[in-house]
Structure 1
Amino acid sequence: MQNLQEYMLPCLNKKLFGFDCMGCGLQRSLSFLFHGEIIAAFKMYPAIFTLIPLGLLIVTSFFYKFKNINKIINGLAIASVLIIIISFIVKQLI
């Protein structure tokens, strides 16, 4: 994983203001997933497990229309936003 970290984009918010933004950890979490480290990916960015299916469903919905796909997408989007906000608050408190 060390090699991939050299190519990751730095967090501009962290560099300018000194604290993590709500997206900090997403790249590293994806890297952990690519290396099969599921628990480490979750610890780094818990919303990764709702964002990936959300992205896949959004792309799929452009090509195929399923019944209730909009409700599923909306539910995943709301869950993702809630997880992102909650994990951000928890990171700030720790």
Structure 2
Amino acid sequence: MLNITLSSYINLDITSVQGGRYKEEKAFASDAVADALKRHLTAIDHFENNGLADKVAKHVDGFKSLLHHQFENDQISEEVYHRLMTEAESMTGQWG
């Protein structure tokens, strides 16, 4: 059975957004913006795989803060912001 964590799913979602239809729409101001989000998700994925709920919750909060900061500074589109924030809220519900 394939076990994919929610953070892995979101990381894949960011990658697909970078290379998909959003690329032409400038969903991310730069690859560095998306990479910063992916780094947070890599850490979250590590903690998810090790069942460290307190660490997952802490890093999900950091991910959401970074996401909000990027949106407020016009580094990501509104559509992508809401999409990723909804997914991050799902992680909060699962691990918070």
Q: Shorter-chain-normalised TM-score: which range?
A: 0.3 to 0.5
What is the TM-score when the length of structure 2 is the normalising length? 0.37
What is the TM-score when the length of structure 1 is the normalising length? 0.38
> Which has the larger share of helix?
2
| Structure whose alpha-carbon radius of gyration is higher | 1
